[in-house]
Structure 1
Amino acid sequence: MHEHYADAIADPDPIRLAPDLVCLRFEVMKVRSALGAVRHLLANGTVRPGDTLVDSSSGIYALALALACHRYGMRCHIVGSTTVDETLRVQLEILGVTLERMPPSDDLMLDQNRRVERVGQLLLENPDYHWMRQYHDAIHYVGYREVAEEIGRELPAGPLTVVGGVGTGSSTGALAEYLRAAGRDVLLVGVQPFGSVTFGAEHTADPDMIIAGIGSSIEFRNVRHELYDRIHWVSFAYARAGAVALLRESGIFTGLSAGAAYLAAGWERRRNPGRTVVFLAPDTGHRYVTAAFSAYSEVPELTALAPREVAGTDDVALPWSVTDWTVRLTARRTPRLPAAVPGRAS
């Protein structure tokens, strides 16, 4: 029996959609990351129960960190994006979170820069606060060790292709790292929105983009570029088509990053037959109903969509581009994975 709600939703539900296709469906994926990070910080004495943890979030990480703080008796301060909706605001405040929301803005870069600047001010005003640094600290890899172990148990031996949003690198990157360390042959495929700087597509822009959680207008320093074999850039319109198709074909109601991953996973299956393809669905589709799912009748069939294969980031273009990420040089600021804390987060 679970001791806390966070423990109950931290682990994914592996759902087999075809003999060689598996959806790793999470309620809130970043709960796994936040639980692992907070547990690690407590175990090594960096923080103590009752301390305040602070970070910036566009939504999902805010809830994940709030639940981890509730689980371990910590205080939580979130500098939230303009995209934090009323449903999430109410949950956070009832959980005891101090929430600051940025002023309304259609400019995601401005919104993110404002949040980062405000976190810096909070740390100057409150030097005892601990900044979780979800965009920069490799400690967020730790919680995914258990997920990698579950994949190892659930799926038969053989080569795997892991597909998912890059985000901070703590999900897809960590899964590949731990699976490879266990001896698995893993092809890692990252999904990005247009405009993200992480893999050099900041010169592009998607006017409809609301899937900022898988990429960013700022550098994510805990992304280990050398872990990735291929990168897909997917537009809002195509991510929406993927999410609608996933719901129609499997019954799985997910967010837009899962839709983008499902689209990319289908292409990867056709390109590399003989591998089991695992794609990540990090959250549900509830907060996208108005922005994406309400126009479900307008989306194209996935069979009609194909990516533009490009040699480098200079040629990346909407609505869907893919490149083999052949650069294997260690990134300038490659983080090291912290040692895993013994035991689960429960």
Structure 2
Amino acid sequence: MTQHYDTLRAVIWQDNQLYLIDQRKLPQEHQLISLDNAQDTAKAIHDMVVRGAPAIGITAAYGVVLAARAAYQQSPDNWMVTIAKDMEILANSRPTAVNLCWALQRMQALFSQITGNPESVLLAAAQKIQAEDIAANYFMGELGAGFLPEKSCVLTHCNTGSLATGGYGTALGVIRNGYAGGKITHVYADETRPWLQGARLTAWELVQDNIPVTLIVEGAAATLMRQGNISWVIVGADRITANGDVANKIGTYSLAVLARYHGVKFMVVAPSSTLDAQLSDGSQIVIESRSQAEVLMMNGQAIAATGAQAWNPVFDVTPAELIDVIVTEKGAVEKPTTEKMQKLFIA
């Protein structure tokens, strides 16, 4: 199937280097930064140069390639030991995104099979992870769009598109497919404070692909739903537990509660690498908190009274009972429960 509205890649391997779109500069500036070592790659992940669970995992996989290059140059006969420090640095860059650890574990599993210089083997593995992610997003886009009624208006939160994945997107992949197929007529996007991923990134992506988008502040979502303008809320996920609870960007839980009250359907779209069978429910998810300054300041300027404090959890947990369908590349689970999710894990 030919994919439409698919023009962006946020993670690029070219000329033996890793390149990332610096998402902190969007939408004012479309700038690529080059990375040639694991430490800078981990810093780019932590500092939100790249964000979104799948993109973080893919970036980390390429970080392993850079780490292996350095380790082999330093100690050709003992690179598997030398690389350990860089692996730990990469693992600690963003703790909530399960894709990060998943990608690192997948890369590390190859170490014992490698003889000689590990770079080519690990590069092929990282590129395969990215290619698989894009293919999965195409599939999820079509599967998720199948749940939408004709002439839908949808609401999305944060950024789940090409900038957050290997390409095409998870929730935005559904939106891209739905728009291409004539099912979606308009997209509403939350601003997504404090990093404004909806305003800076999602709106920018959709504008690049000529998909009509209207930006709203989070506080406007309830009124928009009450007016009957929204058929579905479509979001991504950073971690999904065994019972179908979902950790995603802060504000997702609010949308799920509002959607249920107003009779709006709620869809979560995420690759199976986001599933964490080790956690029985969302209460076990460790929620990352970031600096108060991200809430108290914007573009280096204070926006709050001096002396005020801020609480800045990056994610929240949406209970499974508020979710109408979880879409993965392994299939869709409607009204998720532990029993239904178990079948998906086995698949």
Point out which structure has higher relative CO (alpha carbons under 8 A, 6+ apart): 1
Q: Do the structures match in fold with TM over 0.5? A: no
TM-score range, shorter chain: 0.3 to 0.5
Larger radius of gyration: 2
Normalising by structure 2, what TM-score? 0.34
